[in-house]
Amino acid sequence: MSEYQEIIAQLRDTVAQICDQYAGEYWRAKDRAREYPGEFVQALTDAGLLACLIPEAYGGSGLPLSVALEITRAIHENGANAAACHAQMYTMGTLLRHGSDEQKARYLPGIARGELRLQAFGVTEPSAGTDTAGITTTATLDGDRYIVNGQKVWISRAEHSDLMILLARTTPRNEVSKRTDGLSVFVVELREALENGLTIRPIRTMINHATTELFFDNMPVPAENLLGEEGKGFRYILSGMNAERILIASECIGDARWFIKTATDYACERKVFGRPIGQNQGVQFPIARAYAQTEAADLMVSKAAELYDAGEACGAEANMAKMLAAEASWAAGDTCLQTHGGFGLAEEYDVERKFRETRLYQIAPISTNLILSYLGEHELGMPRSY
């Protein structure tokens, strides 16, 4: 790691300076209006941060995941939120690993420059979440194109993307021996698709998160936009999920550190009965405990990223990192809110907004229970629980 220490220090400075320009009031206004933080995303794009994982040959910086996560963690540590654009970093991984040279040359340089946004990942459906093989959206070959029909839900940033990675069934389930076979992955050009059978409908949620549902009504996709081999899409999708989990875990660590710092500062400043409230162990200990929990979770995030960068299997570590980091950020958030008392609920302190935002990560991109099922079955060898 030492060769990257200097780069990491400079990256953290750059992120801090960008976040300084888009401080609390910016996020509060966006939150009230449920608006996409386009200016913030543009600043990150202009600084080349979202292209960190793209190889230099395609115009990115070719950094390992363990350096990229310093960016997402720092964004959250500085009170901002990377959810509006973190997928621009890693969604291209599916294209990079499984696309043809021609497909990579067509899309990656534009993605690296930020002119093309590939930050939508169309997998989840109303009746198939973690049960990915159960999706019912179909893509049927018709000459030199596929015709897509079906529906997706919880597709984040689709309205703010030019491209989407789409998973659809190309061979009916009863015609394949394994249910995970017969699924294929496509690159969908969304601007074009919106005029040809795609409808995007935003979903209002508890937080300002640009998520949507999608409807495909005979939407054509050129056959040349198929990634890799037809029918092998399930494996392609899985290979991208570890990077996503590790980056999101790093955002949780960033949130947790923001909560801990905010709580600590307030506990030292706020005086009740003539002394700072942080002098009371009832206030101090939960913050200290959240700190310990956060630092422990961060070690797992680092371990998962190191395995990922070394090209080793890291499914269990990526899952554990996400779970532990999301629990740490939630504990820190709850403690921060409690430390602030009534002021924690006031919008201007940003605590309530961050509290709502960090809650998401126990649900997305995978819920805690499914991580526990995975660990029970695959790591501990207990019977499959679902």
Q: Which of 41, 52, 74, 95 binds other proteins (CB under 8 A)?
A: 52
Give, to the nearest 10 degrees, the angle between helix 38-46 and helix 2-21: 150
Is the CB of 67 or the CB of 185 nearer to other proteins?
Answer: 67
Q: How far is the CB of 67 from other proteins (least distance, A)?
A: 10
Is the CB of 52 or the CB of 226 nearer to other proteins?
Answer: 52
Q: Looking at 244, 251, 327, 357, which residue is catalytic? A: 244
Q: Which of 17, 100, 218, 280 binds other proteins (CB under 8 A)?
A: 17
Residue matched to tokens 């919880």:
154
Q: Which of 47, 133, 147, 364 binds other proteins (CB under 8 A)?
A: 47
Tell me if 13 contacts other proteins by CB under 8 A. yes
Task: Tell me the site size for other proteins, rule CB under 8 A.
Answer: 16
Give the other-Cβ count within 10 Å of 169's Cβ. Answer: 22
Q: How far is the CB of 16 from other proteins (least distance, A)?
A: 9
Tell me if 64 contacts other proteins by CB under 8 A. no
- Reading the block at residue 83, the tokens are 């959810």
Is the CB of 87 or the CB of 188 nearer to other proteins?
Answer: 87
Identity of the residue numbered 144: D
Residue 250's closest CA among 90, 73, 88, 74?
Answer: 73
Q: Which of 18, 75, 226, 337 binds other proteins (CB under 8 A)?
A: 18
Answer for the pair 124, 89: CB distance below 8 angstroms, yes or no.
Answer: no
Tell me if 239 contacts other proteins by CB under 8 A. no
Q: How far is the CB of 42 from other proteins (least distance, A)?
A: 13
347 catalytic, yes or no?
A: no
Is the CB of 56 or the CB of 217 nearer to other proteins?
Answer: 56
Q: Which residues bind other proteins (CB under 8 A)?
A: 6-7, 9-11, 13-14, 17-18, 46-49, 51-52, 61
Question: Known catalytic residues?
Answer: 244
